Chains A and B, each alone.
Chain A
Amino acid sequence: MKHAFLAVIALIAISWIGSLVGLDYVFGVVFPYLAFAIFLGGFIYRIVNWGKSPVPFRIPTTSGQGKSLDWVRQDKLDCPATFWQVVGRMLLEVFVFRSLFKNTKAEIHDGPKLVYGSSKWLWLFGLAFHYSFLLIILRHLRLFLNPVPAFIGQIEFFDGLFQVGVPVLYQTDLVFVGAVTFLFLRRVLIPQVKYISFAADYFPLFLIFAIGATGILMRYFFRVDVVAIKQLTMGIATFSPAISGDIGSIFYIHIFLVSALLAYFPFSKLMHLGGVFMSPTRNLANNNRMVRHVNPWNDPNIKPHSYADYEDEFREFMVDTVLPVEKELPPEPEPEPEPEPEAAETEKPAEPAAEEAPAETPAEKE
């Protein structure tokens, strides 16, 4: 945790100093371009890289009744059998975190007695975090588009519906900071979660919190030159960047942290944004026995131990117990050695005698 915390402090310090020593252009233009390029290139690279590995087997996690007999009611969303049903499952997964919604919490009591309670906080705050983040990003489009599309105005209107303060307080800002705080607190306060966390889990939380905090400071506390900012951002969007006037350090800190997040994104767990679409346990239809699924590296040379070899080994016994055979036994044995089995495979493994093996294998007989 401390590494992650120090890393974010360092990022803040670097950008602050940078803005003080007049590296405005570097922090306001060069780094954002660079970060965005890394983000875009890295994101695409990761998706393509995942895509290069095939999906050899169709392995959906079935979480409901599959399609079977006509009169058996299929659970189309939790056990999809068609493309569109898969789309339904994925939409619910991506937009309302359906699997996380199923979360439970287990406790063990005297008896022993295990109980499973409902546990929806992570789902709720996870959802709040992602949606407020999304709305905030959409609001920021105002800075990169001219004229500003109507829907952004509507988002801003509803986001500030309560008309508190000047400038108007956006609820998403509160929700965002609250949700990030929750996600951080559960990571340090729930012992199991703390135990599994390491720097790569704390760093994005600190970074995102710092981005939110600097943004809020800029909007509500340190007044910055909004016109100059829009000139800069529009310049970036139109590939003619220019910096006019003194925008203020807080802006450079904010935009540098955002740049850091963008550059960090493709190489981190944040790639779950792309990965959730690529997960074979979720994005495949459970139509395994209905439709052929091809494994590109299936090895046709792996063949079962053949029936012929099997019969060669056991023919005598089979004939004795009136089991049908393909080849009859040779006529009464002339004095010649036992025929050696042809294939190497028919050699016996440690000969677990039929009468003995079960004692070790099927059910415990101890």
Chain B
Amino acid sequence: MADTKVEQMSVDVVRDPSMMTGAIPRKDWMDMPVTFKPGNYCYPAKKSIVEYLDKGLPGLFGVPREWQVESDDWQLPENWVEIILQGMRERLDKFRSFKVFMDICVRCGACADKCHFFLGTGDPKNMPVLRAELLRSIYRGNFTKAGRILGSIAGGRPMTFEVLKEWFMYFYQCTECRRCSVFCPYGIDTAEITMMARELLHLVGVGTNWILEPAANSNRTGNHLGLQPHTFKQNAEFLLDDIEEVTGVKLQNLTFNRKGAEVLFVIPSADVFADPGIFTFMGYLLIFEHVGLDYTISTYSSEGGNFGSFTNNELMKKLNGKMYAEAKRLGVKWILGGECGHMWRVVHQYMETMNGPPDNLEVPKSPITGTVFENAAAAKMVHISEFTADLIKHDKLKIDKSRNDHRVVTFHDSCNPSRGMGMLEEPRYILQNVCNKFYEMPENTIREQTFCCGSGTGLNTGEIMDLRMRGGLPRANAVKHVEEKHGVNMLSCICAIDRATLLALMEYWNPNVGVCGISELVGNALIMEGEKVRDQDLRFEELAGAGQGEEPGTNEEGE
């Protein structure tokens, strides 16, 4: 848990001098050095991990070595400044977003208080505009005439070790959530800037272990946890026993690596391993069994989440490539994806461009409802919420809403599905159909204005707990609001990172609120053929009015 007690933190965020509480630093931001101390930085990547990644993508992760963040010698290559500047030059030529966003900011400040890290820390360099200036100042100082001649008067500065430290600090206090981008009059997206900065940092061998080790695992074992095929399968099958115990039904349709299945189902791997993701996973399986979907799960492509996307576009592409490759090998018709935020950012906005076209796949069509998912006509991959919402719309699910009556639910829009995909209504439609008590958080904190969990993009690591609890404060605060107003006790979401991070966040700020994926709630409510009297939910917790909820669905199931 966090190093600072919540009572203390509650006072600190309001009283400590910070830009959020009205204290303005006397020194110019360029003159404020960063100081690393335990708790404010992520641990650097292990040498062996970087060595492994370097074999697959030579040169992109710097020289493998052991180094200490708090030390003044990061053992950078001698020509590291050159590497950074050359890397910048290349990326300015490769990404219009980068070039335009370096040039057109007018520093109007509209983004300043939109960032959850700024709201929680009050650190001026967490204002998106200043975060971008950390990079922009180097751009001006090296790539524009005015900056080269006039230096700091024109907002330019040379690339120094102090700047590099600043980048490592603040581009790992951005979760690429894009909230600032919604409010920017020019759509400047700090996520793009952070991505560029992290690519540059990796070039000189500055990366964090919490990102690179899962990425290495994903490459080798298929999933970020490093679960080998047998373990992955056994974990998943173990959950079948739990399902049987709760529902009295032994599911038959779960298979792995099966050729000829109609659908390949890709999940964030934490869903077979970690609480509360496992309950979401049970929900998926119940839905598929209920409608008789012909699906298989791959152990080779057993990670939807893409830790490469937190490093550089090359590793993102490499890891993502498994999905289409495996779909082709197994000969499935289309791909279905589980509840995962950044997985869906990558699938929706990058996959088809990077690894498509998937010529061997067909335009996804629900075998149960006949619905053709035109919105996935090229990428051939459908989101589980789209799939489930369509099932409900066509009355293909027998649902007993009252089985979720012990939950008072609110919904956290995950950053990526909301601002990188535009998926706002489908999860809500599902929730309204599977539970009776669903309340929205205040409007400035949901939908396209949703707040990050505070720990996305690979910041979900134990060594920066205080930071994460601060970054997650805006989200937690909105949950607290509905907890007090409506008695909300369950925070639902469609993201695996959320399911891990919100759990810690709720334990800290709102200990009476649990966290779940929405497929878990669907699983609770589903009336399975041949089931026993259900008096427990998928977590083995007592239902409200234990087992009395007989309220059959409105029509026959679509088997």
Q: Which residues of A contact B (CB under 8 A)?
A: 3, 46, 49-59, 61-69, 71-73, 75, 78-79, 93, 97, 99-100, 102-106, 108-114, 116, 122, 126, 190-201, 267, 269, 271-272, 275-276, 278-282, 286-295, 297-299, 302-307, 310-311, 313-314, 317-318, 320-321, 323-324, 344-350, 352-355, 357-358, 360-364, 366
Contacts and interface: CB of A to CB of B under 8 A. Distances in A.
B219 interface: yes
Contact of A71 (B53, B98, B155, B393): B393
Nearest to B321: A304
A362 B277 contact: yes
A295 B353 contact: yes
B146 interface: yes
Nearest to B277: A362
B532 interface: no
A103 B186 contact: no
Given A64-B448, A292-B378, A352-B213, A112 B13 contact: yes
Given A321-B230, A352-B217, A305 B377 contact: no
Contacts of A363: 270, 274-275, 277, 499-500, 503-504
A352 B353 CA distance: 32
Given A114-B119, A298-B354, A100 B229 contact: no
Contacts of A53: 92-96, 98-99
A62 B419 contact: yes
B55 interface: yes
A71 B375 CA distance: 13
Contacts of A299: 314, 317
A114 B473 contact: yes
Interface residues of B, number: 154
B462 A303 contact: no
Contact of B500 (A51, A269, A290, A362): A362
Contacts of B178: 61
25 contacts: A56-B95, A56-B353, A71-B393, A72-B429, A93-B185, A99-B182, A102-B182, A192-B112, A192-B113, A196-B130, A198-B155, A201-B107, A267-B144, A272-B104, A275-B186, A276-B104, A310-B220, A318-B230, A320-B230, A323-B233, A349-B213, A350-B52, A350-B213, A360-B462, A362-B273
Given A191-B22, A363-B274, A108 B421 contact: no
B233 A66 contact: no
Chain B binding surface SS class? helix
Contacts of B393: 69, 71
Nearest to B108: A122
B483 interface: no
A363 B498 CA distance: 10
B145 interface: yes
A132 B448 CA distance: 32
A269 B182 contact: no
A126 B108 contact: yes
Contacts of A56: 94-95, 313, 353
Contacts of B194: none
Contacts of A104: 113-114, 183, 444
A267 B145 contact: yes
Given A62-B422, A201-B107, A281-B189, A349 B100 contact: no
Contacts of B113: 104-106, 192
Interface in B169-225: 178, 181-189, 192, 210, 213-214, 216-217, 219-222, 224-225
Contacts of A62: 418-422, 448
Contacts of B224: 361-362
B231 A275 contact: no
A314 B213 contact: no
A275 B104 contact: yes
A354 B94 contact: no
Contacts of B154: 199-200
A57 B350 contact: yes
Interface in B385-428: 386, 389-390, 393, 418-426
A55 B230 CA distance: 42
A69 B390 contact: yes
Interface stretch (B69-77, B256-264, B487-495, B537-545): B256-264
A290 B104 contact: no
Interface stretch (B281-289, B322-330, B431-439, B518-526): B322-330
B161 interface: no
Chain A binding surface SS class? loop
Contacts of A311: 300
Contacts of A366: 1, 462
List the 9 closest A-B pairs by CB distance, nearest first. A66-B422, A275-B104, A304-B321, A62-B422, A349-B52, A281-B187, A289-B379, A282-B187, A350-B48
Interface string B455-496: 000001010000000000110011000000000000000000
Contacts, number: 401
Contacts of A350: 46, 48-49, 52, 213, 216
Given A267-B145, A276-B186, 6 more contacts: A99-B182, A291-B378, A292-B378, A307-B300, A318-B229, A348-B52
A68 B386 contact: yes
B327 to A, nearest CB: 11
A272 B104 CA distance: 5
B354 A310 contact: no
Contacts of B100: 50, 275, 278-280
A194 B399 CA distance: 56
Contacts of B217: 349, 352, 357, 361
A196 B352 contact: no
Contact of A195 (B94, B104, B119, B124): B124
Contacts of A109: 14
Nearest to B275: A363
B239 to A, nearest CB: 15
Nearest to A303: B321
B102 to A, nearest CB: 10
Contact of A72 (B56, B114, B216, B426): B426
Contact of A59 (B97, B219, B352, B423): B97
Interface in B82-102: 92-101
A352 to B, nearest CB: 4
B35 to A, nearest CB: 20
Contacts of A289: 347-348, 352, 375-379, 381
A114 B442 CA distance: 11
A114 to B, nearest CB: 5
B545 to A, nearest CB: 31
A3 B185 contact: no
Identify which of A114, A116, A267, A306 gathers the most chain B CB atoms within 10 Å of its CB: A114
Interface in B327-353: 329, 347-350, 352-353
A67 B375 contact: yes
Contacts of B214: 361
A63 B500 contact: no
Contacts of A193: 107-109, 112
Identify which of B95, B100, B216, B229 gathers the most chain A CB atoms within 10 Å of its CB: B100
B96 A55 contact: yes
